[in-house]
Amino acid sequence: MVNILRQKDITVLDFGPEYANLDESSLSNVVQQIVEVAKHTSPPLVVIDLSNTKSIGSFFIQFLIRIWKLIKKRGGRLVIAGLNEDCLNVLKRSKIESLWQRYPTREAAAEALKDAEVS
């Protein structure tokens, strides 16, 4: 399972080492769990931590867009932490890398969300 962590008002979705490759087969068991988090977490401030992820596929991209839209519809924000160069290149080829702010660490991402909430 994806670890769902709370850091004050921030929800962190931590994709652990078992999610090195985010494709349909690796995500099929957690899709509904994460959709429920996107629909109900309050406030809707979410960090997706991909520090352990080595590759992403089209299924993950579609899933990420779905989650982002659910959070955005609720007035929230979704940011990405720990994205490696290969995964970033996949987002760039899909021309969607600018949809989400990216941070090197989960802590930096959570801090940025916390600062934005205060502003």
Question: How many structural domains does the chain have?
Answer: 1
Q: Is the pLDDT of residue 118 over 60?
A: no
Residue among 88, 82, 87, 79 at smallest CA distance from 104? 82
Please answer whether residues 13 and 49 qualify as being in contact, where contact means their C-beta atoms are separated by less than 8 angstroms.
Answer: yes
Q: Is the pTM of this model over 0.75?
A: yes
Cα dihedral: 65, 55, 106, 18 (round 10): 110
CA distance 109 to 105: 6
11-43: pLDDT as tens digits: 999 999 999 999 999 999 999 999 999 999 999
Looking up residue 19, the CATH number of its domain turns out to be: 3.30.750.24
Which residue range forms the structural domain that includes residue 30?
Answer: 3-118
